[in-house]
Amino acid sequence: MPLSNRPTLTQFLIEERRRFPTASGQLNALILDVANACKAIAKSVAYGELAGMYGSHEGGGSVNVQGEEQKKLDVISNDIFIATTQWAGNIAGIASEEMDVPLPVPQQYPKGNYLLVFDPLDGSSNIDVNVSVGSIFSILRAPDAVVCDERPLTSDDFLQAGAEQIAAGYAVYGPVTMLVLTVGNGVHGFTLDPMLGEFKLTHRDMTVPEDTQEFAINASNSRFWESPIRRYVDECLAGKTGARGKDFNMRWIASMVAEAHRILLRGGVFMYPRDTKDPNKPGRLRLLYEANPIGFIMEQAGGRCSTGSVPMLQVQPTSLHQRIGLVFGSRHEVERIERYHTEPAAAPIDDSPLFAPRSLFRD
């Protein structure tokens, strides 16, 4: 199909909305505002050092609520998301990786029915080396009492299980910019046409292959992994000669959006599991603006997302910036990892080639 005949994101959303004649249009308007934010971030990312975009915020030393170094582009992307989405009367509040506490909609703007949660620039520790990065967002329903100004917005309003999400998506800023979206009716991918500045539908009904021979994990943490993950990775590395009877590839971009996108297109499994590295951090990635939106997308695309033990979308959040162990991707592999979590006794770690006395991950 010629480029110009593909539906735009706007057309796609209008056609989707026809299925819900009573819908107010706020959700579509919010998604289009988010898409505009992603276009603006894509431009900032694309200028790189030409526009002085690289490096730390305020010359270094600045950390976000996670205790992580804030890049200039983290802060710019956060500001873009806020400016683009808070004015239109579609949301009642915003929560972001880059903000300690939620931001209510300022008094001068009308309040809308939704809450917007995002990681404005995921993988940004890699931005200076020109690796693909992305933005992740999740849309939740706002409590009526907040929308009607009967009480102020609180952090607790955002503590909704992933299954409650109304929509979720990500933009990946790679060789091309893509927006991948679910409103609970499959997963659809839109490519930014750089001439028109429009997202156009290029990937309808994306599905994650059920089986894979590719896995992604930061293996430098292997000594901190729990036994089910060690068993799984060990079996993958043993390849044809081990229990799996087939060879695997390993990938690690250290940019979750880029890994999720690869998995959506060709299958695979991503693991950033709970580990024992830092007892104060039960996992590395954040539940509300990383694990849940990616989980919603994976499940809608026929894949699976889990903590290893519990389906991600069933986890009841307890705090805004909560971290969690995350496993997602091809359904059969994620189910296998979940099964390993129920059979710890079946994990012959000490006999395995990977963790044997003379092995890759042992001295």
Judged by beta carbon, residue 8 or residue 125, the one nearer ligand F6P is 125
**Does residue number 235 form part of the binding site for ligand F6P (CB under 6 A)?**
no
Is the CB of 20 or the CB of 252 nearer to ligand F6P?
Answer: 252
Q: Which is nearer to ligand F6P, 123 or 273 (CB)?
A: 123
Does 122 engage in binding with ligand F6P (CB under 6 A)? Answer: yes
Which of 98, 234 has the CB closer to ligand F6P? 98
Residue showing the smallest CB distance to ligand F6P in the complex: 256
Q: Which is nearer to ligand F6P, 17 or 251 (CB)?
A: 251
Site string for ligand F6P, 255-284 (x = CB under 6 A): xx---------------------------x
Q: Which is nearer to ligand F6P, 97 or 198 (CB)?
A: 97
Q: Of 171, 75, 87, 186, nearest to 132 (Cα)?
A: 171
**Residue placing its CB nearer to ligand F6P in the complex, 98 or 299:** 98
| Piece of the chain touching ligand F6P by CB under 6 A; list 158-166, 174-182, 253-261, 292-300 | 253-261
Task: Please identify which residue in 56, 62, 125, 154 interacts with ligand F6P, judged by CB under 6 A.
Answer: 125
Nearer to ligand F6P, 114 or 289 (CB): 289
Per CB under 6 A, does 123 bind ligand F6P? Answer: yes
The reply on whether position 73 binds ligand F6P by CB under 6 A is: no
- Burial letters for 127-161: b for 16+ Cβ neighbours within 10 Å, e otherwise? bbeebbbbbbbbbbbbbeebbeeeeebeeebbbbb
* Interface segment toward ligand F6P; rule CB under 6 A; list 20-28, 118-126, 298-306, 349-357: 118-126
Q: Which of 11, 24, 185, 218 binds ligand F6P (CB under 6 A)?
A: 218
Under rule CB under 6 A, residue 298 binds ligand F6P:
no
Q: Does 66 help bind ligand F6P (rule: CB under 6 A)?
A: no
How far apart are CB 349 and ligand F6P at their closest, in Å?
22
Q: Which residues bind ligand F6P (CB under 6 A)?
A: 122-123, 125, 218, 254-256, 284-285
